[in-house]
A and B are shown apart, each in its own frame.
Chain A
């Protein structure tokens, strides 16, 4: 499902978060919105989900104006979005139950999806009984079970430790390759963006403007991102992070370069 932003602006009171943003996301494309925390990229994502409305401009999905949330465009939140009163299976099944699928069918389907994210045997556990990584696996299963055409991810692994995060990125990549939804990923992790996305939009601080657009194409990637070292360095520089070893060395010794 093609997604478009045209002249989208959003302000909260006097605070200008997004200013005249335009882009088109093609069907099946995986786009990462990369930028510092609080730069407005999450707002863009929530507008795609239909949870927020732009102050001016329009967003469309499949040619139709986005006005309210739809299960065809589902969103994975950073954390705490599972219901504590439901088991993992109950949480995943709920996505189908909201579509009026009979309870039994929904639970059978939930079992399948929990198996895909390697959570078999944990169906009857409650979210607080499992680790943060397992909770996010469950959240992924809940997002994919309804077969969305658009998958929106809001810093989905931001609260996890580095190793768990990389494992989950692989799980997500496999699921995306299998289901082929259009994906918009919001992240502040450069490696995550490079690993998962076909295209990366690097954002400045508020109001969010695109500093750089990187077309990676749909190429097979592994967690070894050494082939992208130049791009990575450039992105980090754009985000104001020092990657120049010569100047770092110079600072240490007090020399000027």
Chain B
């Protein structure tokens, strides 16, 4: 599937305009401020090019992506599982939903001090914080969607003799997929923010957040802006290209 199919021309144009707008404001700020406070756009892009040719950059990128993958993956798995269970079992639903609403109001980064002491200095606390950020929107969207699966779709499967497992796999799962994907995109935003901030605070081994925090500490503003650029580009690519593509693949029937 080519990108032109997943993203309309109008949307693409909107993105180009938005990016030009953002870079323009950055450059205007750079003209008015001294270089050591705000680097020019092209200085940051040149630095980015240098970074792309250094092994260090890839080490940090690899670490961050591993943490994101582990945390986000675990959140999706448990979120879908708990969402389906909560949505189908009436006794569990209301308390579970209330618990999620209370817990999701806590910024996931607030858990860092606790997990650092509980799990020690390492990858695990960062992964868990990422997972917490992504878990709630996933579980909530799946639970709400499961609750509103059309009764006739369930009855039809029952009269066709579907087993519990078949019902879950062939009826509930595809029925909740549209909402699940919306929830998963929301969850990705949370996971990404949690990842960068946790890495900035924890500062364990190389990573995008740590690299950004370190640039700040040595007052290397070109480094700061370069890192922000990387963080923004990666998030856009993952959300708009990878997740959108998966969405179009899974919901193919809606786009015909």
Q: Footprint of B on A, CB under 8 Å?
A: 49-51, 68-71, 73-75, 77, 80-81, 83-86, 94-95, 97-99, 126, 128-129, 142, 146, 152
In the complex the two chains form, is B159's CB within 8 Å of A69's CB?
Answer: yes
Pick the contact of B253 from A68, A77, A126, A142 — CB < 8 Å? Answer: A126
Q: Least Cβ distance of A184 to chain B in Å? A: 13
Q: Are A75 and B153 in contact (CB under 8 A)?
A: no
B256 touches A126 (CB 8 A): yes
Complex: how many Å from CA A85 to CA B177?
A: 10
Residues of B within 8 A of A146 (CB): 160-161
Chain B: residues with Cβ within 8 Å of the partner, total of 20
Q: How far, in whole Å, are A68 and B160 apart by their CA atoms in the complex?
A: 12
Task: Report the bound CA distance from A71 to B160 in whole Å.
Answer: 5
Q: Assuming the A-B contacts A77-B155, A80-B150, A83-B153, are A94 and B160 also in contact, with contact meaning beta carbons closer than 8 angstroms in the complex?
A: yes
9 A-B pairs with CB atoms under 8 Å apart are A75-B159, A80-B150, A86-B253, A95-B160, A97-B170, A98-B160, A98-B161, A98-B166, A142-B160
Q: Is the interface of A mostly helix, strand, loop or mixed?
A: loop
A126–B150 Cα distance when bound, in Å, is: 18
The reply to whether B155 and A129 form a contact with Cβ atoms under 8 Å apart is no
- Are B159 and A49 within 8 A (Cβ)? yes
In the complex, are the beta carbons of A71 and B159 less than 8 A apart? yes
On chain B, the residues within 8 Å of A74 by CB distance are 159-160
Pick the contact of B155: A51, A71, A83, A99 (CB < 8 A): A51
Quick one: which of B170, B177, B253, B256 has the most chain A CB within 10 A?
Answer: B253
Using Cβ atoms and an 8 Å threshold, which residues of chain B touch A98? 157, 160-163, 166, 170
A77-B161 contact in complex given A85-B174, A126-B253, A129-B256, C-beta closer than 8 Å: no
Output the least CB separation between A140 and chain B (Å): 13
Residue of A nearest to B250 (CB): A85
- Tell me, yes or no, whether B118 is within 8 Å of chain A by CB: no
Q: Does B206 contact A (CB under 8 A)?
A: no
Task: Please list the 10 inter-chain residue pairs (A to B) with the smallest Cβ-Cβ separation, ordered nearest first.
Answer: A71-B161, A69-B158, A85-B174, A75-B159, A81-B156, A98-B162, A69-B159, A126-B253, A98-B160, A95-B160
Contact between A77 and B160, CB atoms less than 8 A apart: no
B152 at the interface (CB under 8 A from A): yes
Closest A residue to B163 using CB positions: A98
